[in-house]
């Protein structure tokens, strides 16, 4: 029964194996791979910058278009295929999207956040951090949130030192999630500030 369903779904595949794609051995493909391999890896941040300019990657365009709100650092909200009832996905910024921080206050937190929750890290997988939500303070009812760092964990760790099993308070504004003191590891004081900000 289930295999029937899988086969039936597979027949809807618009890119099934009989649709040709560029073979890895073609001249175009070789050129692309050579270009990738000629990318310098001096240090991580330098290689990022050089590859961006060389390839005009979409990530660079995103970085340029993001507007940091009041100096708060942006995490784009990715609905990917549309938000689900259970999982919210948030993307970490490229490092060069990080701006200077403003002073933290519960009033400012309330002002810059339309999403706020406390969650426990359930997995750190590649560039993705998954949190199981313990408390929603504002703006959602998701049970799980995924934070995704398109350029790797460094970008996330640059803002918040995520560890599996630890609790974090995260705030976000539509299209922008906030670092710089507006999200971080849970402490009783910090939680109290979130509660004060959102009247919880």
Among 15, 27, 100, 188, the residue binding other proteins under the rule CB under 8 A is 15
User: CA-to-CA distance for 97 and 67, rounded, in angstroms?
Assistant: 9
Figure out which of the listed residues 43, 103, 165, 189 binds other proteins, where binding follows CB under 8 A.
43
The reply to whether 166 sits near other proteins by the rule CB under 8 A is no
Residue 112, phi-psi category: left (phi > 0), alpha (psi -120 to 50), beta (remainder): alpha
175 belongs to the binding site for other proteins (CB under 8 A): yes
Q: Which stretch binds other proteins (CB under 8 A): 74-82, 101-109, 179-187, 192-200?
A: 74-82
Residues 94-123 close enough to bind other proteins by CB under 8 A: 115, 122-123
Is 27 near other proteins (CB under 8 A)? Answer: no
Interface with other proteins, residue 91, by CB under 8 A? yes
- Check binding of 78 to other proteins (CB under 8 A): yes
**Distance between start and end Cα atoms, the chain:** 48
* 18 lines the binding site for other proteins (CB under 8 A): no
* Burial status of residue 50 (CB atoms within 10 A of its CB: 0-12, 13-18, 19 or more): middle
> Could you tell me the smallest distance in angstroms from the CB atom of residue 189 to other proteins?
28
Give 150's contacts (C-beta < 8 A, 6+ positions apart). 59, 91, 92, 94, 127
The answer to whether 178 contacts other proteins (rule: CB under 8 A) is no
Using alpha carbons, select from 52, 59, 72, 68 the residue that is nearest to residue 159.
72
In the set 116, 118, 130, 171, which binds other proteins (CB under 8 A)?
130
Cα–Cα distance between 37 and 16 in angstroms, integer?
29
């Amino acid at each position: 029964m289930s295999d029937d369903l899988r086969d039936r779904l597979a027949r809807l595949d618009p890119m099934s194996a009989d649709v040709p794609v560029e073979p890895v051995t073609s001249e175009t493909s070789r050129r692309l791979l050579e270009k990738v391999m000629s990318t310098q890896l001096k240090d991580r941040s330098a290689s990022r910058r050089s590859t961006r300019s060389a390839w005009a990657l979409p990530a660079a365009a995103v970085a340029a278009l993001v507007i940091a709100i009041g100096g708060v650092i942006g995490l784009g909200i990715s609905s990917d295929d549309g938000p689900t009832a259970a999982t919210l996905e948030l993307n970490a910024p490229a490092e060069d999207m990080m701006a200077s921080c403003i002073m933290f206050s519960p009033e400012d937190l309330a002002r810059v956040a339309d999403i706020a929750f406390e969650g426990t890290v359930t997995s750190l997988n590649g560039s993705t951090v998954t949190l199981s939500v313990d408390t929603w303070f504002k703006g959602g009812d998701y049970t799980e949130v995924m934070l995704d760092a398109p350029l790797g964990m460094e970008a996330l760790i640059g803002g918040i030192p995520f560890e599996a099993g630890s609790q974090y308070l995260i705030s976000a504004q539509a299209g922008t999630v906030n670092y710089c003191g507006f999200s971080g590891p849970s402490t009783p004081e910090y939680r109290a500030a979130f509660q004060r900000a959102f009247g919880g």
